[in-house]
């Protein structure tokens, strides 16, 4: 018989369920977000951009193909908890273990038998909220819940998921420096497929650290939290944009906008899913893309020279930028498709072309 558990939102709304595996020994506090992807639950659980969050999966049957090392986006889960409607047993030849077993081994609680439709509608109507997962026999008091919510913050969350020191992924081609704000394995895989030698730098790297790499190109990775928390680290971003072909992904995209003098703002309930239509304003092509972010760039705040390259067709938010006359491109979505469709992988091809053209002297690194 599985134990009963509760997810309580900051405003006191409660959603009951049962624990898959052991209940958490103490209350787990996180930002509650929902993801609409139908598959890719292990990639979601191991995406460092979910650090500090409790993820609600809207697809009702989760776990049917288990978990395996090959499907991870990082070595360990980054989220604080998972909430699902029904946990399925694994039925896949490549599965190494059950999803609950994988998460339990890393101390991530899973609450099942939850009315995730009602929970998602609450988050859509009221916006993203902080929540508390707990194994108590009854609801938390207003005072206890309120204290837990007040103490919760994501300041410093990027450093908690970034590599503590630089490392190299060998390749025979040009050198690309990747700044790890919460790097996904899929990004490294895409760069390796294009032959790059990759030097991964920690999120705390400085502009001087970047210069020391003598890179042919720079990738600013995805990551969790509010981009405004990293405004003290924009010198590296400015160094990249001014002197290298640059690709910004998700948080990296937002940091390029901030470094240029633009602004970001929080979305009501974020974009988390693998089916968001995005239009390339240069070609008119529409890609179906993977998303995981709670903030967006204000296109009206961008300085001269920056233009919106990609647009989200659901809500018309900015999905990417390019800098006129410079080999700089950014995307808010996840072109490595972990999880999601591979439509946007061509962004890596465009970045690779920029790197090779600059290296061969066919294009200047900046205007």
**pLDDT digit string (tens) for 313-327?**
999 999 999 999 999
Instruction: Read off the pLDDT band of 361 (50, 70, 90).
Output: confident
User: Has residue 191 got a pLDDT over 90?
Assistant: yes
Question: Can you tell me the distance from the alpha carbon of 109 to that of 225, in angstroms, rounded to the nearest whole number?
Answer: 21
Backbone CA torsion sign across 236, 239, 245, 250: positive
> Could you tell me the two tokens for 253?
């995209």
What is the average pLDDT value for the chain, to the nearest integer? Answer: 95
Domains with residue ranges and CATH for the chain = 4-153 (3.50.30.20), 159-359 (3.40.50.880)
CA distance readout (Å), 13 to 95, 145, 209:
36, 11, 47
Tally the C-alpha atoms within 13 A of residue 312's C-alpha that lie toward its C-beta: 25
- At 13-23, the pLDDT tens digits run 999 999 999 99
User: Has residue 1 got a pLDDT over 80?
Assistant: no
Query: Dihedral of the CA atoms 56, 58, 60, 66 (nearest 10)?
Result: -60
- At 252-303, the pLDDT tens digits run 999 999 999 999 999 999 999 999 999 999 999 999 999 999 999 999 999 9
Question: Can you tell me the distance from the alpha carbon of 139 to that of 258, in angstroms, rounded to the nearest whole number?
Answer: 42
pLDDT score of 367: 53
- At 204-228, the pLDDT tens digits run 999 999 999 999 999 999 999 999 9
User: Has residue 249 got a pLDDT over 80?
Assistant: yes
Average pLDDT of span 46-66: 97
Query: Dihedral of the CA atoms 120, 62, 10, 139 (nearest 10)?
Result: 120
Query: Longest Cα pair distance anywhere in the chain, in angstroms?
Result: 68
Average pLDDT of span 143-149: 90
Q: What percent of the chain has pLDDT over 70?
A: 99
Residues designated as active site = 250, 334, 336
């Amino acid at each position: 018989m599985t134990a009963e558990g509760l997810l309580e939102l900051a405003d006191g709304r409660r959603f009951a369920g049962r624990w898959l595996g052991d209940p958490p020994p103490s209350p787990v506090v996180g930002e509650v977000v929902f993801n609409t992807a139908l598959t890719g639950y292990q990639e979601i659980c191991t995406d460092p951009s979910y650090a500090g969050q409790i993820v609600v999966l809207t697809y009702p049957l989760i776990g049917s193909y288990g978990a395996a090392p090959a499907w991870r986006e990082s070595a360990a889960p980054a989220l604080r908890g998972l909430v699902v409607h029904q946990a399925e047993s694994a039925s896949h030849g490549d599965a190494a273990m059950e999803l609950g077993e994988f998460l339990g081994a890393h101390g991530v609680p899973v609450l099942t038998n939850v009315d995730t439709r009602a929970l998602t509608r609450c988050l859509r109507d009221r916006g993203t909220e902080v929540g508390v997962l707990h194994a108590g026999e009854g609801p938390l008091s207003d005072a206890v819940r309120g204290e837990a919510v007040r103490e919760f913050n994501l300041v410093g969350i990027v450093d908690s998921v970034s590599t503590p020191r630089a490392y190299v992924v060998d390749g025979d081609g040009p050198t690309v420096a990747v700044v790890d704000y919460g790097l996904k394995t899929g990004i490294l895989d895409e760069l390796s497929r294009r032959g790059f030698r990759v030097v991964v730098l920690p999120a705390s790297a400085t502009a001087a650290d970047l210069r020391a790499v003598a890179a042919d190109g720079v990738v600013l990775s995805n990551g969790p939290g509010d981009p405004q928390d990293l405004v003290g680290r924009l010198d590296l971003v400015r160094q990249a944009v001014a002197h290298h072909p640059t690709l910004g992904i998700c948080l990296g995209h937002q940091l390029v906008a901030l470094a240029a003098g633009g602004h970001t703002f929080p979305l009501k309930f974020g974009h988390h899913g693998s089916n968001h239509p995005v239009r390339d304003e240069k070609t008119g092509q529409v890609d179906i893309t993977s998303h995981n972010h709670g903030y967006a760039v204000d296109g009206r705040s961008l300085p001269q020279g920056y233009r919106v390259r990609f647009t989200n067709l659901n809500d018309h938010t900015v999905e990417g930028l390019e800098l006129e006359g410079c080999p700089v491109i950014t995307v808010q979505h996840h072109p490595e498709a972990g999880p999601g469709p591979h439509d946007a992988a061509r962004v890596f091809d465009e970045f690779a072309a920029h790197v090779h053209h600059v290296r061969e002297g066919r294009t200047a690194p900046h205007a």
